[in-house]
Chains A and B, each alone.
Chain A
Amino acid sequence: MRLHAERALRIAGLLAIAGWVALALRPPGTAEVVSESALASALPRWTMQRVERVHVRVDTVPDHRSRDWLRALRRAGSAVSWSAAAIAPLGLETIAATEPAGGALVLAAAGRGEGPVLSDALGAIDTIDVASGAGAVRLSDVRGAVTLTSGVQPARASVASAPLPRRVYVSGAASWESKFVIAALEEAGWQVDASLFVGPGHHVTQGVSAVLDTARHSAAIVLDTLARVAGEVDRFVRQGGGLVIVGDANRGALAQLGAWRVGRRQAAPLGTLPGDTLWRGLSRVPFDSVEAAYAIPLELRDGKAIVVARRYYAGRVVGVGYDETWRWRMAGGDDAVAAHRQWWSRLVGSVAMRSPLAAEHATGAAPRADLHASLGPAVTTSLRPARIPRPMLANLLGAIAFAALLAEWLLRRARGAR
Chain B
Amino acid sequence: MVTTQLREFVWATVQYESGDWDSAPLVGPNLTDSLIRYTALRVSPTPAIVPLASADALRFPFLYLTGHLPVRFTETERRTLRTFLDRGGFLFVDDHNHDIDGVFHKTATEEIRRSAGPLVNLPNTHDLYSAFFRFPDGPPTTSHELNGWGDNLVHEHLQAVMIHGRVGVLYSSKDYSSEWSYHPESKRFQAIDNTRFGVNLVVYALTR
A330 touches B61 (CB 8 A): yes
B9 touches A204 (CB 8 A): no
B59 touches A174 (CB 8 A): no
B87 touches A204 (CB 8 A): no
* A2: interface (CB < 8 Å): no
- Which residues of the other chain, A, contact B39 by a CB distance below 8 angstroms? 174, 198-199, 202
Bound: A183/B205 CA distance, A: 12
* A176: interface (CB < 8 Å): yes
> Which of A54-62, A93-101, A321-329, A404-412 lies at the interface with chain B?
A321-329
- Which residues of the other chain, A, contact B87 by a CB distance below 8 angstroms? 329-330, 336-337
Sorting the interface of chain B by its residue count into under 10, 10 to 19, 20 to 34 or 35 or more gives 20 to 34
A196 touches B207 (CB 8 A): yes
B86 touches A175 (CB 8 A): no
A330 touches B7 (CB 8 A): no
B61 touches A198 (CB 8 A): no
Bound: A270/B4 CA distance, A: 8
Interface of B, secondary structure class, is loop
Cβ 8 A contact of B42, one of A173, A202, A274: A173
Interface of A, secondary structure class, is mixed
Mask: chain A, 323-356; 1 = CB below 8 Å from B; 0 = not: 0101101110000110000000000000000000
* A139: interface (CB < 8 Å): no
Mask: chain B, 82-111; 1 = CB below 8 Å from A; 0 = not: 001011110000000000000000000000
* B120: interface (CB < 8 Å): no
A330 touches B58 (CB 8 A): yes
* B149: interface (CB < 8 Å): no
* A21: interface (CB < 8 Å): no
A179 touches B132 (CB 8 A): no
- Which residues of the other chain, A, contact B131 by a CB distance below 8 angstroms? 204
With contacts A204-B203, A270-B4 taken as known, whether A179 is within 8 angstroms of B59 at the C-beta atoms is no
- Which residues of the other chain, B, contact A402 by a CB distance below 8 angstroms? none
Bound: A359/B88 CA distance, A: 39
Smallest CB separation, A141 vs chain B (Å): 23
CB-contacts of B46-89 with A (<8 A): 55, 58-59, 61, 84, 86-89
B58 touches A174 (CB 8 A): no
Smallest CB separation, A191 vs chain B (Å): 13
Bound: A200/B41 CA distance, A: 10
A179 touches B86 (CB 8 A): no
CB-contacts of B169-208 with A (<8 A): 203, 205-208
- Which residues of the other chain, B, contact A403 by a CB distance below 8 angstroms? none
Count contacts on A: residues with CB < 8 A to the other chain: 31
CB-contacts of A282-338 with B (<8 A): 282-283, 324, 326-327, 329-331, 336-337
Smallest CB separation, A244 vs chain B (Å): 19
A330 touches B88 (CB 8 A): yes
Cβ 8 A contact of A331, one of B9, B58, B207: B58
Smallest CB separation, B199 vs chain A (Å): 9
Bound: A327/B6 CA distance, A: 11
With contacts A173-B41, A176-B206, A329-B88 taken as known, whether A267 is within 8 angstroms of B5 at the C-beta atoms is yes
* B1: interface (CB < 8 Å): no
B59 touches A327 (CB 8 A): yes
CB-contacts of B19-60 with A (<8 A): 38-42, 55, 58-59
B88 touches A179 (CB 8 A): yes
* A180: interface (CB < 8 Å): yes
Bound: A200/B132 CA distance, A: 12
- Which residues of the other chain, A, contact B84 by a CB distance below 8 angstroms? 330
- Which residues of the other chain, A, contact B4 by a CB distance below 8 angstroms? 270, 282
* A46: interface (CB < 8 Å): no
- Which residues of the other chain, A, contact B208 by a CB distance below 8 angstroms? 179, 206
- Which residues of the other chain, B, contact A336 by a CB distance below 8 angstroms? 87
Cβ 8 A contact of A198, one of B59, B88, B89, B207: B207
With contacts A176-B61, A274-B59, A330-B88 taken as known, whether A197 is within 8 angstroms of B40 at the C-beta atoms is yes
- Which residues of the other chain, A, contact B42 by a CB distance below 8 angstroms? 173, 175
Bound: A174/B206 CA distance, A: 6
A198 touches B132 (CB 8 A): yes
CB-contacts of A153-205 with B (<8 A): 173-176, 178-180, 183, 187, 194, 196-200, 202, 204
- Which residues of the other chain, B, contact A200 by a CB distance below 8 angstroms? 40
- Which residues of the other chain, B, contact A178 by a CB distance below 8 angstroms? 206-207
Cβ 8 A contact of A199, one of B38, B55, B206: B38
- Which residues of the other chain, B, contact A204 by a CB distance below 8 angstroms? 131-132, 203, 207
With contacts A179-B88, A326-B61, A327-B59 taken as known, whether A174 is within 8 angstroms of B38 at the C-beta atoms is no
Binding site for B on A (CB under 8 A): 173-176, 178-180, 183, 187, 194, 196-200, 202, 204, 206, 267, 270, 274, 282-283, 324, 326-327, 329-331, 336-337
**17 chain-A/chain-B pairs, Cβ below 8 angstroms:** A175-B42, A176-B9, A178-B207, A179-B61, A179-B206, A196-B206, A198-B40, A198-B203, A202-B132, A283-B5, A283-B7, A326-B61, A330-B58, A330-B59, A330-B87, A337-B86, A337-B87
Binding site for A on B (CB under 8 A): 4-5, 7, 9, 38-42, 55, 58-59, 61, 84, 86-89, 131-132, 164, 203, 205-208
